[in-house]
Amino acid sequence: MVKFLKQGIEQSAVDEADAEVRTLVEGILADVETRGDTALRELSQKFDDWNPADFRLTETEIEAAMSRVSRQDLEDVKYAQKQVREFAERQKACLLDLEVETMPGVVLGHKNIPVNSVGCYVPGGKYPMVASAHMSVVTAKVAEVPRIIAAAPPHDGGPHPAIVAAMHLGGADEILVLGGIQAVAAMALGSESVAPVDMLVGPGNMYVAEAKRQLYGRVGIDLFAGPTETLIIADETVDGEICAIDLLGQAEHGPTSPAVLLTTSEALAQDTLREVERQLDILPTAEIARTSWADYGAICVCDSDEEMVSEADKLAFEHVQVMTRDPEYFLQNMTNYGAMFLGPRTNVSYGDKVIGTNHTLPTKRAGRYTGGLWVGKFIKTHTYQRVLSDQASAELGEICSRLCMLEGFAGHAEQANVRVRRYGGRNVEPYSAVQPRGG
């Protein structure tokens, strides 16, 4: 039986906050769609105190920003991008075009075609998410997307040098210094100065995530990637110190970031509670992490590994870190999550920054129906067909005619009938079902 030692705020409070966000986002999107660049400038000034002559960086401005990044930081960015690029290339190799003759004279196939244009949002705010540029821009480049535009908010009164470097090194064709809802709106809806894209990708705060949700349908999106979530699944083989570090390491993302421990050890649960409080007294980012832990943190004691799997699949969290005697059990049995980190030697931070798997992952239980961003998200699979012989066309036409009339689609049926007449030599009454041979 599940026993909670700590729980966060009630779901009703979360729902009320979400409703306020929806209303705000809806108004801003409508404003950008109506007033274009004028609205973008007013919103950027209001939220970021930023109103340059052009939101798009020139080559000279890109070079100037990159010159402010240390050599070591540039090398580290290149290292991380190499890991992301190589894994994405291996994933892309799994996506194969197909062509097969399914019956004599009938050829079916599919082609994998990259999206024509993508907008990559890179969060800035209190913690500029340099790594998000790797995850979106590099991966889109591997997919061979023809136009990649990247946007991030200003930082300290200008473009964030390391973010600009990561975008440029990753292969962005255009870089905008523009943040939040207004950046997402500009890329999706377009304006006088920004050509719209076909797809939006990248994580963001609750406002960016809601903007993507409302824009879905007008453009494609990768997934609903809102405030980060982390779930630690652990037993007595680890201690409270490492569990607390891994919980708070994600709670520092923002004040609405859930961090949850599932364990079969009540001793570990109690030890982790004590460690969280101890570490919050020394963590440099404790101001944010403390709020997140108070409102969205939870510790739950379960009776068995099987019960932990059941609870974890209900949560369907973005990150699942497994530190148990048998981590493989969870890999084989869990079905709902964004990314899994197996064993104490790895952790969510590795996935966030450097290991090579993508860190743009489903939140708010979206892991029940989708995985995270990967090269395949930028690639559309389109089918095609050929009929190479008169006999095959007539054979298909006869059955298609009857199936169409079964549904009452006379016009559909006539598409089949005309081919039965021309390629099968049969006399078929217009807008009627082809009778079986010998019938």
Would you state the structure tokens that stand for residue 112, as one six-digit string? Answer: 């994998």
Question: Taking the CB of residue 283, how many other CB atoms lie within 10 A of it?
Answer: 19
Whose tokens are 């807008």? That residue is 431
Q: Considering 134, 155, 253, 319, which one is annotated as catalytic?
A: 319
Q: Considering 318, 359, 395, 398, which one is annotated as catalytic?
A: 318
Please indicate whether residue 319 is annotated as part of the active site: yes
Spatial separation of the C-alpha atoms in residues 382 and 389, rounded to whole Å: 23
Would you state the structure tokens that stand for residue 92, as one six-digit string? Answer: 């892309």
Please indicate whether residue 318 is annotated as part of the active site: yes
Which positions are catalytic?
A: 318-319
